[in-house]
């Protein structure tokens, strides 16, 4: 007969496993999130450096900062060498790590945040990153171009509000041929809707496309969607569901280089299930207003396996 | 022992105390300024106007206590907090005794200071917050403020009824979305008759348009109405502050408070101080000075952690510098 203490240990370890399982299935706040606006994270191919947007709500102030993984912890961020002056956002590192793309309204200093965004890139150099270069026509236009994403073959995916789309922002792609981008093409109706569709992100094989949309039928505001490529065609996108999407905004999907985690940006509130159980003191209030989960955007991650994407 | 050795230092100390006392005397006016404030300036930076989303203030009649609202970054879910003017300074705020659990904002004191009206999404019954907002008040008692009282219909409806302001005779001005389908938010008035608000009227077209007209502040004598309007032809951008005068019962056409106060960003919830000398109002929503040169991460955090981070603050200006006629 099993000794009671051993029996208890078995139960406890079983509970621990269940606990771990549960935790893996839920989106977790990622370490670099604070009370300010963080979002659109991108990793270097070795996963050791993270670039992301840091800004503040309501303003046109948004810069690209980076942090390094050191002894299992993310270091205090630093300003990216090419940022810190103009409005920059949405960094994306090419799969070979040689180029970093981002969106920016440089060199406008318009205080009203209505300035025009284009896609820019910096190239890896001996001393870090080169000076930013505007990708020019035909990628950039007089309309908004944002949220660059590059696949292994060099094709560039991005959002644009240019005429001829299905409404709001649509996702476009341009192939890279002989070092030049082809005329951008709309990704089509499996992906783009009459609402805003944006923030393309691919798995390593380029077979799965994650993106964000504020189309009707979601959990509210922006949600994350996924589409699978079969026989060269994108299948109709489906909502990633309650493990990721809430009535708050979920945007900017990004995969960790090892493909294990889906990262995303959300302005969901933490600890607001209904109402605080009791009245807050002033210091509790100020702490809540200035911490992650206050409803400025934060970075989250979830194990990709928890999304059960292989199930029909 | 030489008595002068003791008396002279004491006299010097007295002279010094009187001199410094003079400074303290000037500072004893809660929000008064020695120098004219001819351009808007941030009120009580660091204590009341902070890195948080701080707005919607109300002074007690003596000006020595201020109630104001702190919001989340998205401008939702307010909490009403209090600061007192003590020893020449505004104290670190405390959460108002009736706030800190639900979304409360827009405090307004009756001119005699006996009632404090505010807007809240607290439930009338049960524990689930409302989806809309209603007007509530607390009453002064020997032990502080009473429990919040919910105003009945016809003031409160099942849509947004908010931003109260009240005259000496208890007439309540407020915003309501009750005709939102046709006319967005509009400003309404309800007279206190026999201790009850039993009917509600929409203010006329001199005030209300078919876009948002909000944030009324009515003077105690009901002669001056300050409010916010969105997108009028004479707007300097976003929401602007306007004034209208009640002349023998007729409202003068709304007048934009002009470019000294109104900017391309949001200006809202203006009030004249209890002593009638200053205009207080809220401004922010993205107004931030961009750096002139590259900033480091540390410098960025310095901007974020200051009152100049683009969230709202409370501003003060001499009423005489606003063009508002008293």
Which DSSP string corresponds to A244-310? T--SS-EEEEEE-TTS-EEEEEE-PPSS-SSS-SSPPPHHHHHHHHTSTTSSS-EEEEEEGGGG-TT
Distance from CA of B94 to the nearest CA of A (A): 5
Are residues B53 and A59, on separate chains, in Cβ contact within 8 Å? no
Q: Is B309 on the interface with A (CB under 8 A)?
A: yes
Which residues of chain B make contact with A79, given a CB cutoff of 8 A? Answer: 294-297, 300
A220 touches chain B (CB under 8 A): no
CA dist., res. B196 & res. A57, Å (int) = 42
Bigger pLDDT: B181 or B163?
B163
> Between B79, B92, B300, which is nearest A79 by CB?
B300
A280 to chain B: which residues are within 8 Å by CB? 79, 95, 100-101
What domains does chain B contain, in order, with CATH numbers?
A: 47-321 (2.120.10.30)
- CA–CA dist A296, B73 (Å, integer): 6
Residue A118's alpha-carbon distances to A23, A56, A101, B126, in angstroms, are 39, 20, 11, 51
Backbone region of residue A2 per phi and psi (left: phi > 0; alpha: psi in -120 to 50; beta: other values): beta
The DSSP output letter for B52 is S
Give how far Cα B214 sits from Cα of A42, B160, B257, B310, Å: 43, 12, 15, 22
Q: Is the pLDDT of residue B18 over 60?
A: no
CB B140 within 8 A of CB B114: yes
| Residue A252 contacts B where some CB pair is shorter than 8 Å | no
Q: Which residues of A touch B303 (CB under 8 A)?
A: 56, 61
- With a cut of 90, say whether residue B34 has pLDDT above it: no
**CB contact (8 A) between residue B294 and residue A77:** no
pLDDT digits (tens, 9 = 90+) for B104-119: 999 999 999 999 999 9
Buried b (16+ CB within 10 A) or exposed e, B60-79: beebbbbbbbbbbbebebbb
Contact (CB, 8 A) for A304 and A261: yes
Say what the pLDDT of residue B288 is. Answer: 82
A35 in contact with chain B, both atoms CB, cutoff 8 A: yes
List the 170-199 stretch of A: residues with Cβ below 8 A of B. Answer: none
Unique residue bearing structure tokens 């009736």: B98
Prediction pTM value = 0.88
| Distance of residue A63 Cα from the nearest chain B Cα, in angstroms | 9
E strand map for B72-122: 79-86, 89-90, 94-95, 104-109, 115-120
CA distance A292 to chain B (A): 11
Q: Could you tell me the end-to-end alpha-carbon distance of chain A, in angstroms, rounded to an integer?
A: 45
Apex CA A271: angle with CA A265 and CA A275, to 5°? 130
CA–CA separation, A76 vs A66, rounded Å?
A: 9
**Contact B10/A at CB under 8 A:** no
Q: Does B100 touch chain A (CB under 8 A)?
A: yes
Inter-residue contact B134 to A307 (CB < 8 Å): no
Which chain A residues contact residue B53 at CB under 8 A? 289
DSSP bridge partners of B250: B247
Nearest to A56 among B101, B127, B309 (CB): B309
Confirm or reject contact between A131 and chain B (CB < 8 A). Answer: no
Does B182 or A186 have the greater pLDDT score?
A: A186
* Inter-chain touch A279–B101, beta carbons under 8 Å: yes
- What is residue B105's predicted lDDT score, i.e. its pLDDT? 98
- Continuous H helices in chain B: 3-27, 180-183, 297-304
On the question of pLDDT at B7 being above 70, the answer is no
CB–CB of B73 and A282 under 8 A?
Answer: no
Between A261-270, B96-105, B146-155, B175-184, the lowest mean confidence (pLDDT) is in B175-184
In 3-state terms chain A splits into helix, strand, coil percentages (rounded to 5) of 10, 40, 50
Averaged over B195-215, what is the pLDDT? 95
Nearest to A59 among B92, B294, B310 (CB): B310
A111 near B CB under 8 A: yes
Chain A and chain B share a number of CB contacts under 8 A equal to 120
CA A123-A125-A126 angle, to 5 degrees, is 170
Could you give the count of Cα atoms lying within 13 Å of B168 in the half-sphere of its Cβ?
Answer: 8
Each residue's pLDDT tens digit in chain A (312 positions)? 444 444 444 444 444 444 344 446 899 999 999 999 999 999 999 999 999 999 998 887 899 999 999 999 999 999 999 999 999 999 999 999 999 999 999 877 666 555 789 999 999 999 899 999 999 999 999 999 999 999 999 999 999 999 999 999 999 999 999 999 999 999 999 999 999 999 999 999 999 999 999 999 999 999 999 999 999 999 999 999 999 999 999 999 999 999 999 999 999 998 754 456 678 899 999 999 999 999 999 999 999 999 999 876
CB contact under 8 A, B286 and A275: no
Residues 6+ apart with CB under 8 A from A237: A190, A191, A209, A211, A213, A225, A226, A227
Q: Which residues in chain A have their CB less than 8 angstroms from residue B79's CB?
A: 280, 285
Q: H-helix or E-strand containing B272?
A: strand B266-272
What does the alpha-carbon distance between residue B33 and residue B279 come to, in Å, rounded to a whole number? Answer: 13
- Interatomic CA distance for residues A102 and A120, integer angstroms: 5
- Residue written as tokens 């560039």? A156
On whether any CB of chain B is under 8 Å from the CB of A106, the answer is no
Q: Which residue has the tokens 């046109």?
A: A60
Min Cα separation A282/chain B (Å): 5
Cβ distance of A58 and B295 shorter than 8 Å: no
How confident is the model over B11-26, as a mean pLDDT?
A: 49
**Residue A192 structure tokens:** 């783009």
How high is the pLDDT of residue B1? 45
Backbone angles phi, psi at A38, to 5 degrees: -115, 145
Distance from CA of A270 to the nearest CA of B (A): 12
Contact B51 A280 (CB under 8 A): no
Rounded alpha-carbon distances, angstroms, from residue A37 to A28, A221, A295, B181? 17, 17, 9, 34
The alpha-carbon gap from A286 to the nearest alpha carbon of chain B, in Å, equals 8
Distance, in angstroms, between B320 CA and closest chain A CA? 29
Find residues 248-277 of chain B whose CB sits inside 8 Å of chain A: 264-265
What is the rounded average pLDDT for all residues in chain B? 91
Which residue carries 């307010």 as its tokens? B78
CA distance B95 to chain A (A): 5
Taking CA atoms, A271 is separated from A249, B264, B272, in Å, by 17, 35, 38
CA atoms of B213 and A120, how far apart (whole Å): 42
Q: How far A132 CA lies from chain B's nearest CA (Å)?
A: 14
Cβ contact A78–B297 (<8 Å): yes
pLDDT of the residue at B4:
57
**Chain B residues inside the 8 Å CB shell of A77:** 297
């Amino acid at each position: 007969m099993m000794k009671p203490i051993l029996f208890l240990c078995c139960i406890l370890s079983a509970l621990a496993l269940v606990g771990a399982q549960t935790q893996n299935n839920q989106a977790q706040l990622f370490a670099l999130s604070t009370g300010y606006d963080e979002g659109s994270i991108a990793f270097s191919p070795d996963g050791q450096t993270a670039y992301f947007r840091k800004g503040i709500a309501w303003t046109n102030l948004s810069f690209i900062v980076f942090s390094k993984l050191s002894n299992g912890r993310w270091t205090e961020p630093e300003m990216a060498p090419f940022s810190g002056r103009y409005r920059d956002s949405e960094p994306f590192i090419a799969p070979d790590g040689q180029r970093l793309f981002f969106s920016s309204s440089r060199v406008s200093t318009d205080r009203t945040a209505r300035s025009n965004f284009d896609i820019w890139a910096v190239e890896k150099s001996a001393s870090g990153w080169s000076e930013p270069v505007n990708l020019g026509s035909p990628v950039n236009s007089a309309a908004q171009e944002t949220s660059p994403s590059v696949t292994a073959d060099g094709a560039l995916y991005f959002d644009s509000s240019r005429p001829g789309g299905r409404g709001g922002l649509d996702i476009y792609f341009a192939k890279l041929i002989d070092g030049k981008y082809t005329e951008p093409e709309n990704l089509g109706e499996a992906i783009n809707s009459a609402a805003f569709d944006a923030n393309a992100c691919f798995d390593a094989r380029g077979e799965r496309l994650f993106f964000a949309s504020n189309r009707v039928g979601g959990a509210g505001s922006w949600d994350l969607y996924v589409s699978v490529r079969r026989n060269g065609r994108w299948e109709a996108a489906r909502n990633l569901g309650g493990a990721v999407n809430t009535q708050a905004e979920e945007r900017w999907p990004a995969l960790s280089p090892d493909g294990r985690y889906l990262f995303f940006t959300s302005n969901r509130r933490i600890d607001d299930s209904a109402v605080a159980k009791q009245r807050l003191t002033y210091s509790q209030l100020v702490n809540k207003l200035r911490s992650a989960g206050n409803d400025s955007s934060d970075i989250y991650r979830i194990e990709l396996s928890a999304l059960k994407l292989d199930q029909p | 022992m030489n008595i002068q050795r003791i008396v002279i230092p004491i006299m010097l100390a007295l002279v010094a105390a009187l001199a410094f006392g003079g400074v303290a005397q000037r500072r004893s006016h809660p929000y008064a300024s020695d120098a004219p404030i001819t351009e808007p300036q941030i009120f009580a930076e660091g204590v009341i106007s902070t890195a948080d989303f701080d707005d919607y203030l109300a002074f007690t009649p003596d000006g020595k206590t201020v109630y104001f609202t702190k919001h989340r970054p998205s401008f939702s879910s307010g909490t009403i907090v209090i600061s007192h003017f003590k020893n020449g300074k505004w104290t670190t705020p405390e959460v108002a005794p009736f706030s800190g659990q639900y979304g409360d904002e827009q405090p307004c004191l009756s001119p005699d200071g006996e009632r404090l009206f505010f807007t809240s999404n607290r439930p009338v019954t049960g524990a689930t917050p409302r989806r809309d907002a209603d007007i509530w008040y607390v009453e002064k008692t020997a032990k502080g403020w009473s429990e919040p009282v919910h105003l009945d219909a016809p003031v409160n409806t099942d849509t947004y009824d908010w931003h109260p302001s009240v005259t000496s005779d208890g007439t309540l001005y407020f915003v309501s979305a009750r005709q939102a389908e046709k006319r967005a938010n509009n400003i309404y008035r309800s007279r206190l008759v026999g201790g009850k608000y039993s009917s509600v009227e929409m203010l006329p077209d001199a005030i209300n348009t078919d876009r948002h007209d909000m944030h009324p502040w009515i003077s105690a004598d009901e002669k001056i109405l300050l409010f916010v309007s969105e997108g009028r032809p004479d707007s300097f951008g976003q929401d602007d502050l306007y004034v209208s005068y009640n002349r023998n019962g007729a409202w003068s056409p709304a007048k934009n408070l002009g470019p000294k106060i109104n900017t391309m960003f949001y200006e809202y919830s203006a009030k004249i101080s209890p002593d009638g000398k200053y205009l207080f109002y809220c401004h922010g929503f993205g107004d931030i000075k961009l750096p002139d040169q590259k900033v480091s991460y540390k410098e960025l955090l310095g901007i974020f952690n200051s009152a100049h981070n683009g969230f709202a603050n409370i501003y003060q200006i001499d009423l005489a510098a606003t063009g508002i006629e008293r």
